[in-house]
Amino acid sequence: MNESLTKTIEQYSKEIKDEIISIRRALHQIPELGDDLPKTRSFILNELKKYDVEISENIGNNGIVALIRGKKNGKTIGYRADMDALPILEENICEYKSLHHGKMHSCGHDAHMAIALSLIKVFSLIKDEIKGNIKFIFQPAEETIGGAFQMIQDKVLEDPKVDYIFGSHVWPDIESGKIGIRSGGLMAGVDEFEIEIQGKGGHAGIPHKAINPLVVASKIVCELESIKNYFIDSGERVVISICTMEGGKTINVIPHNAKIGGTLRFFSDEVQEIFIDKFHKIVNNISDIYKASCKINYKKLFPPVINDSDVISTIEDTLKKYNLEDSLFPVENPSMGAEDFSFFLKAVPGAYIFLGTKNTSKGIVKSIHNPQFDMDEDIFESATSILSKIILEFLDR
C-alpha cells in the first residue's frame, strides 16, 4: 500500500469518527432480537444506499450483503458484522439508551455494524485505487440460531468467491485501542443438551414403590461432570456445565418426571465426540439401572472459532509495518464463550479479532451481556484505520 493511500485512510478514519459514533448510538436505541430485525435492517439499508455498493437483501433469511468492487482484479475479502441484540433490560442512563424495553445491545453488535459501515465509507472513497472486492456481510441471529450457517447455506461466500474472511468483536477485557489476536482457538465451540427423565411418582415414605426422577437426574449430573476428569486429556480446554434442573413441587411427594440441561464448551472435534459418546452411555445406563426412561435432546450448535495461523501472522506483520506494534495484544487464554463466526472460519481462512474497549478512567469496565455494558467510542478511529489496512494487505496477496 502506497504512502498516499495510507494517509488517506488515516485522515478519513479520523474525519468520520463522530459520524460513526452517531450511527452506533442510533443503532443502540433500536435493539432487535434474532432474525426479526426490521428497524435495524432499514437503518443499514438506508446507509448503504448512500454509497456505490452492490446490495443484496434477504441472504440467509434476513441477512444483507454490500459488495464493493475495486477497479482492478484481485482477491475477494469478506467482513462480517452481526446485527441482533439480547433480551436484557438496559440499566445505563444515557441519551442513547435502548428505546425497546427489555432489549439491549449488550454484546456490542451496534458497534460491529457501525465499524462495518465505517469501513464501507473508507473503501468507497478509495475503491478506484484498490484491486479485488470486499464483501460486507450483515448477519442476523448470532445470539440465537446461528445466522452465519444460514447465510453460508445461501451462498454468501460465493459470486464472487470469498478468499479470506474477517470479523471483529468489541472486548471489554482488553484495554481500549488494543487489537487482540490469537492464532488457533480463540472462542469455544458449544453444544446444548436437555434430558427429560420419566420416573414413577409416589409417596416420600415408600420410595421403593416409586421411581424417583430426581435421584436419576442427580446421578446423571455427577457422572457427566466426571467426564472431564476421567476421559478427556487434562491439557484440553473444556467446560461441562449443568445449568437447569427441574422437578417436583411438594416436599413429601416423589414426582413423575424431571428435566436437566446444560452445555459443553470445547476446542477440538475429538473432545466433542468423546463427550457425546460418554454422555449417551451415562444417561442410558443410569436410567436403565433405576428403571426410568430418558428422552435426550442433544444439539451441536457452534464449532470453535479457530483463527488461521498464517492469517494471524500476516496481521502481526501488517501492524508492525505501520509501526502499530503497541496496538497488538496477544490473547493468551481463549474465551469459553461461543460465536457463530466459527462457521465462516470453517469455510474460508481468516481471523476473528478482539477490539479492546476497556477504559477504567471512563468507568467502562462492564462485561458483555451485562445490563450496564457500554464501550469506549474513541476506538472507532483506530479500529477503522487498522482494519482497513489489514483488509488491504489481504487484497494485495
Longest CA–CA span in the chain (Å) reads: 85
Distance, in Å, from the CA atom of 185 to the CA atom of 25, rounded to the nearest integer, reads 32
Over the stretch 226-257, which tens digit does the pLDDT of each residue have?
999 999 999 999 999 999 999 999 999 999 99
pTM > 0.85 = yes
Share of the chain above pLDDT 70, in %: 100
Q: Give mean pLDDT, residues 314-336.
A: 96
Over the stretch 207-224, which tens digit does the pLDDT of each residue have?
999 999 999 999 999 999
The type of residue at 331 is V
Provide the grid cell at 234.
Answer: 487434562
Q: Which fold has domain 189-302?
A: Alpha-Beta Plaits (3.30.70)
Kindly report the CATH number that applies to the domain delimited by 3-187+304-395. 3.40.630.10
Q: What is the pLDDT of residue 392?
A: 95
CA distances from 47 to 41, 65, 66, 267 (A): 10, 13, 11, 38
Please answer whether residues 209 and 202 qualify as being in contact, where contact means their C-beta atoms are separated by less than 8 angstroms.
yes
Whether residue 140 has a cis bond before it, omega within 30° of 0: no
Q: Give mean pLDDT, residues 62-83.
A: 96
pLDDT over 90 (residue 348): yes
Q: Give mean pLDDT, residues 100-111.
A: 98
pLDDT over 80 (residue 141): yes
Q: What is the pLDDT of residue 4?
A: 85
Q: Give mean pLDDT, residues 127-153.
A: 96
Distance, in Å, from the CA atom of 75 to the CA atom of 92, rounded to the nearest integer, reads 43
Please answer whether residues 276 and 299 qualify as being in contact, where contact means their C-beta atoms are separated by less than 8 angstroms.
no
Q: Which residues, 6+ apart, have CB-to-CB distance to 283 below 8 Å?
A: 195, 220, 294, 296
Task: CATH 3.30.70.360 in the chain: give the residue spans.
Answer: 189-302
Confidence of residue 1 (pLDDT cuts 50, 70, 90): low
pLDDT over 80 (residue 150): yes
Q: Which residues, 6+ apart, have CB-to-CB distance to 94 below 8 Å?
A: 374
Q: Name the helix (H) or strand (E) containing 28.
A: helix 17-28
Task: CATH 3.40.630.10 in the chain: give the residue spans.
Answer: 3-187+304-395
Alpha-carbon torsion 103, 186, 375, 384, what sign? negative
3-state secondary structure of 214: helix
Average pLDDT, the chain: 97
- The H helix count followed by the E strand count for the chain is 10, 16
Share of the chain above pLDDT 90, in %: 98
